[in-house]
Amino acid sequence: MKRKVMAIVLATAMAAGLTGCGAASAPTEVKTETETEAATQTAAAGENTLTVWCWDPAFNIYAMEQAGEIYQESHPEFTLNVIETPATDAQTKLTTAATSGDLSTLPDIILINDSAFQKNVISYPDVFVDLTDSGIDFTKFGPAKVTNSVVNGKNYGVPFDNGAVVNAIRTDVIQEAGYTIDDFTDITWDNYITLGKDVLAKTGKPMLSMQAGESDLVSMILQSAGGSMFDAEGNPTIVNNELLVKAMDVYAELVKSGVLVEVNDWDQYVGGLTSGNVASVINGCWILASVQTAEDQAGNWAVTDMPKLDGVEGATNYSNNGGSSWGITTNCKDTALAFDFMASTFAGSVQLYETILPKSGALATYLPAADSEVYGEGQEFFGGQPIYATITEFAGKVPSINTGVYYYEARDAVSTALSNVIAGADINAELKNAQDTVSFQMGK
């Protein structure tokens, strides 16, 4: 309770400062899930009040709190109740409410992982409000990001954090091998493997590491070429998928050449970066938060785009991995307020993204933010490079694909196939097994 009261006091003081001599605005109140079993119903019944479920105090919750304070500047009577709800708990509660037919326990706004958004909307169509005509301008977000929450041509999510893929490289390591960041920019995977072999020979450091048994890099390569594991109707297309085969071939060659080393778990993966055992990382831009924990490496990192597939028409150097979006539930008692709140903050405020970036590292897929002075500032850790503007630009170039309702099931099946292929199994047989597994899980 002390934590809740302190949050109210601090938020009220900050809001009062924003509104000057006028009436103090209502507080942005942050509650933990256990503190507020009935808070959702109570807040939903109030006027000028919205309740939000999200997780991660340093990232999502912080961003939502700042959005509340910005909105309160022009709406001093507005109250925002942010309830800390772990992602797995939010999904469980959403599923329970939907299957029981009692949606009264749901908040006004809920954060959903992008790769699970379409599945939730399709599985529980009565839960989510159609945002297509809400007044939110979805053209101001990266197209690929928007696609994650589109079902049957209708928008159901407001894009939030950026999962655009970056190729972050230790400039001091590649310099030792005679290269600069420009040598790794706008290149193909064949180029990358050639350079990586040379860096390994001259420095003893592999370029990359990945967790064994994970197909994240394969998925990133696949999307960069506009490929997917599902067709437009949502059917699995793992068998005879030429782009998927090419992506897996690249991964196998990276491992065989020693340019990529596989590790056992996430701690070893991050440890390889911070200890300097590998020369680079290719992943969603959120990985840079882990990179920057190695303070002794400040100034020796730079960011560029990822390699693209060779000989594939339309292949790009851009992809995405991770991210989430905000959904508005049908339990919301004032959808007009929710629409305006989202349109004025996450879908309309460069100030919001400028505010949350320095503390949380929450990068926008809101394209106008790329032109802000804050996003354009050089970052000392990355040798003065304005990485945030660069990454936001990347986000606008990611190919839009159908990730599929059963994305997680397909990813896991392909991960198993990839491990077996690395061990020497036939790739076509493994892909057939993977598709059979996904089809079974889909009930086909």
Classify 150 as helix, strand or coil: strand
* Nearest-10 Cα torsion for 274, 277, 280, 284: -50
Closest to 193 measured CA to CA, from 273, 310, 315: 310
What pLDDT is stored for residue 15 in this prediction?
Answer: 28
Please check whether residue 132 is in contact with residue 419, taking contact to mean a CB–CB distance below 8 angstroms.
Answer: no
> pLDDT at residue 26 above 50?
no
pLDDT of 208-266, one tens digit each?
Answer: 999 999 999 999 999 999 999 999 888 999 999 999 999 999 999 999 999 999 999 99
Of 326-335, 357-366, 404-413, the one with minimum mean pLDDT is 357-366
- Alpha-carbon distances of 436 from 30, 241, 426, rounded to whole Å: 45, 14, 16
> pLDDT at residue 35 above 50?
no
Closest to 115 measured CA to CA, from 135, 75, 145: 145
Question: In which element (H, E) is residue 114 found?
Answer: helix 114-123
What pLDDT is stored for residue 139 in this prediction?
Answer: 96
What pLDDT is stored for residue 30 in this prediction?
Answer: 52
Mean pLDDT, to the nearest integer, of 85-112?
A: 96
Q: Domain 2-161+322-374, what architecture?
A: 3-Layer(aba) Sandwich (3.40)
What pLDDT is stored for residue 46 in this prediction?
Answer: 54
Mean pLDDT, to the nearest integer, of 172-177?
A: 98
Of 173-182, 230-239, 299-308, the one with minimum mean pLDDT is 230-239
Please check whether residue 317 is in contact with residue 305, taking contact to mean a CB–CB distance below 8 angstroms.
Answer: yes
* DSSP E strand boundaries for 206-337: 208-211, 260-263, 280-284, 301-304, 324-328
> pLDDT at residue 313 above 60?
yes
Classify 221 as helix, strand or coil: helix
> pLDDT at residue 311 above 50?
yes
Is residue 198 very low, low, confident or very high in pLDDT (cuts 50, 70, 90)? very high
Whole-angstrom Cα distance, residue 393 to residue 372? 12
What pLDDT is stored for residue 239 in this prediction?
Answer: 97
Whole-angstrom Cα distance, residue 172 to residue 189? 22
Closest to 431 measured CA to CA, from 236, 274, 250: 236
What pLDDT is stored for residue 27 in this prediction?
Answer: 42
Query: Domain extents for the chain?
Result: 2-161+322-374, 165-319+398-441
> pLDDT at residue 19 above 60?
no
Contacts of 169 (CB under 8 A, 6+ apart): 181, 184, 279, 280, 301, 302, 303, 304
User: Do β-strands 165-170 and 301-304 pair in parallel, antiparallel, or remain unpaired?
Assistant: antiparallel
Mean pLDDT, to the nearest integer, of 151-170?
A: 95
> pLDDT at residue 11 above 50?
no
Taking the domain 165-319+398-441, which CATH number applies? 3.40.190.10
The torsion angles phi and psi of 210, rounded to 5 degrees, stand at -145, 155
> pLDDT at residue 9 above 50?
no
Q: Distance of alpha carbon 266 from its chain centroid, rounded? A: 17
Is residue 47 very low, low, confident or very high in pLDDT (cuts 50, 70, 90)? confident
Amino acid at 352: L
What pLDDT is stored for residue 197 in this prediction?
Answer: 98
The 8-class DSSP code of residue 403 comes to -
* Tokens found for residue 329: 């539930």
Beta bridge pairs of residue 30? 82
């090419």: which residue's tokens? Answer: 246
> pLDDT at residue 115 above 90?
no
What pLDDT is stored for residue 3 in this prediction?
Answer: 29
**Residue 287 C-beta-side C-alpha neighbours within 13 Å:** 27
Question: In which element (H, E) is residue 39 found?
Answer: helix 39-45
**Average per-residue pLDDT in the chain?**
89
Please check whether residue 438 is in contact with residue 410, taking contact to mean a CB–CB distance below 8 angstroms.
Answer: yes
Mean pLDDT, to the nearest integer, of 109-121?
A: 94
Whole-angstrom Cα distance, residue 367 to residue 320? 15
Whole-angstrom Cα distance, residue 258 to residue 328? 47
Asked whether this chain's domains 2-161+322-374 and 165-319+398-441 adopt the same fold, the reply is: yes
Sheet of 280-284: strand order equals 280-284, 165-170, 301-304
Please check whether residue 238 is in contact with residue 222, taking contact to mean a CB–CB distance below 8 angstroms.
Answer: no
